[in-house]
Structure 1
């Protein structure tokens, strides 16, 4: 599976490494291109997953997608049962700005 911004792959992982939550593909942190993420100050707390960290995503040498990704660095442990996996730090991408394909 790939996350592509402006024609450039910013994350890539095997399908079995992806965690799917509410229609979004969460990529392991190690699958993201180094230097593509910059912390955003945008706040959000999900009632069942916890405090989210938003990220600005920049394609190497190219475009930036403001708040183009988010993760849950320390999700509520109770959410692991609902999701079926520990997805701490995994990243989902905003499909309006970044193309996610199999």
Structure 2
């Protein structure tokens, strides 16, 4: 699967390596292109997943704030609920299209 912004692939991995949570595909951290994500200061804590890290996605000089996120240290109960350790896996939204 691929995450694409403005025709550029910013993440790519086999579907078997992704994790689906609440309708979002989470990519392994090593599958995200280097230099595309920068930490965002936007705070959020999911009641069941834990503290979220948002990212600004930068492609072709265009900055898209909070278009990606991850849970660096999800709650142990969240990992149990999902059935896989998704620590650091990255999900995308809005202008970032995820395709098979």
TM-score under structure 2 length normalisation: 0.96
Which residues of 2 match residues 1-102 of structure 1 at below 5 A? Answer: 1-59=1-59, 61-94=60-93, 96-102=94-100
**What are structure 1's unaligned runs of at least 5 residues?**
none
Secondary structure of 2:76's match?
coil
Whole-Å separation in 1 of the counterparts to 2:95 and 2:50: 24
Q: CA deviation at 1:64?
A: 2.1
RMSD: 0.8
Whole-Å separation in 2 of the counterparts to 1:30 and 1:88: 12
Whole-Å separation in 2 of the counterparts to 1:88 and 1:13: 16
TM-score under structure 1 length normalisation: 0.94
Q: CA deviation at 1:62?
A: 3.8
**What are structure 2's unaligned runs of at least 5 residues?**
none
